[in-house]
Amino acid sequence: MTPIRVAFLGPPGAGKGTQAARLAQQHGIPRISTGDILRHAVHARTDIGCLAKRTLDRGELVADDVVMRIVSERLSRADARRGFVLDGFPRTVEQAAGLEQLMVDRDGLIAIEIVVGESELIRRLSNRMVCRDCGNAADAGVLTCHVCAGPLTQRTDDIESVVLERLALYRRVTAPLTEFYRSRGQLYPVDGGRACDRVEADINAFIQRRFAFRAAESASEGSESIGV
């Protein structure tokens, strides 16, 4: 079977985490969030965590080589062989090029860009609560996490001044990635301003079409790609 390999692109607050978690769960493949890995490293006070803490608090980007090391290690694990959903990575053209180097089947990756207008993003981020323990976004109006019942908290980088910085950084550094993938025929933009379930249905229909097509292609070539 053709492994599903997807990277979610889109500004903070677009719903990448929610859609990535749903897609990963549906296909039984890991969701790999570099933000979650880095936040865990900060809490656990590992070497990387201590180095990255200030960067995360300011909403800036962690250095490409540090992020590439994290992703390369994570993708080398057995569970990523059957596919993966990347959430928050790549965020720079350098990271996208680095990911291409890591993959044997280079055009096997699909970048799904979730498009949402800026005023809606600011509204969502300033109201966003996440679970302190597992990082999941909380449902509106609830007091504890629906996944692990942990306490809810506001992310330190969701305060308004930092949100504006993160959005500006996204426009400057990460938005050019859409061109990187568009020029390779690997970009699928979706309107993320709609209800979660409608966005999910749109993504599912696309994934089915795209990966069924690739499976048919590789069957007719008699090849099965190996490696990440």
Interacting span for ligand AMP (CB under 6 A) from 32-40, 96-104, 107-115, 178-186: 32-40
113 binds ligand AMP (CB under 6 A): no
Nearer to ligand AMP, 88 or 192 (CB): 88
Q: Which two tokens stand for residue 126?
A: 């300033």
Q: How far, in Å, CA of 218 to CA of 225, rounded?
A: 9
What's the closest the beta carbon of residue 4 comes to ligand AMP, in angstroms?
Answer: 20
Mind telling me the catalytic residues? 16, 91, 128, 155, 166
Nearest Cα to Cα of residue 13 among 189, 204, 155: 155
61 binds ligand AMP (CB under 6 A): yes
Q: Which of residues 21, 53, 55, 182 is near ligand AMP by CB under 6 A? A: 55
CB atoms within 10 A of CB 74: 19
What's the closest the beta carbon of residue 19 comes to ligand AMP, in angstroms?
Answer: 13
- Specify whether the CB–CB gap between 46 and 66 falls below 8 A: no
Nearer to ligand AMP, 89 or 211 (CB): 89
Which 172-211 residues touch ligand AMP, going by CB under 6 A?
none
Nearer to ligand AMP, 12 or 192 (CB): 12
What's the closest the beta carbon of residue 9 comes to ligand AMP, in angstroms?
Answer: 11
Number of residues counted as binding ligand AMP (CB under 6 A) = 18
Q: Which residues contact 123 (CB under 8 A, 6 or more apart)?
A: none
Nearest to ligand AMP by Cβ — which residue? 35
Q: How far, in Å, CA of 137 to CA of 23, rounded?
A: 15
59 binds ligand AMP (CB under 6 A): yes
- Specify whether the CB–CB gap between 120 and 67 falls below 8 A: no
Q: Which of residues 29, 56, 112, 145 is near ligand AMP by CB under 6 A? A: 56
Residues in the chain: 228
Q: Which of residues 157, 158, 200, 214 is near ligand AMP by CB under 6 A? A: 157
Q: What single DSSP character describes residue 159?
A: S
What's the closest the beta carbon of residue 222 comes to ligand AMP, in angstroms?
Answer: 36
What is the DSSP secondary-structure string of 51-115? HHHHHHHHT-PPPHHHHHHHHHHHHTSGGGTTEEEEES---SHHHHHHHHHH-SSGGGEEEEEEE
Nearer to ligand AMP, 69 or 209 (CB): 69
Q: How far, in Å, CA of 188 to CA of 114, rounded?
A: 9
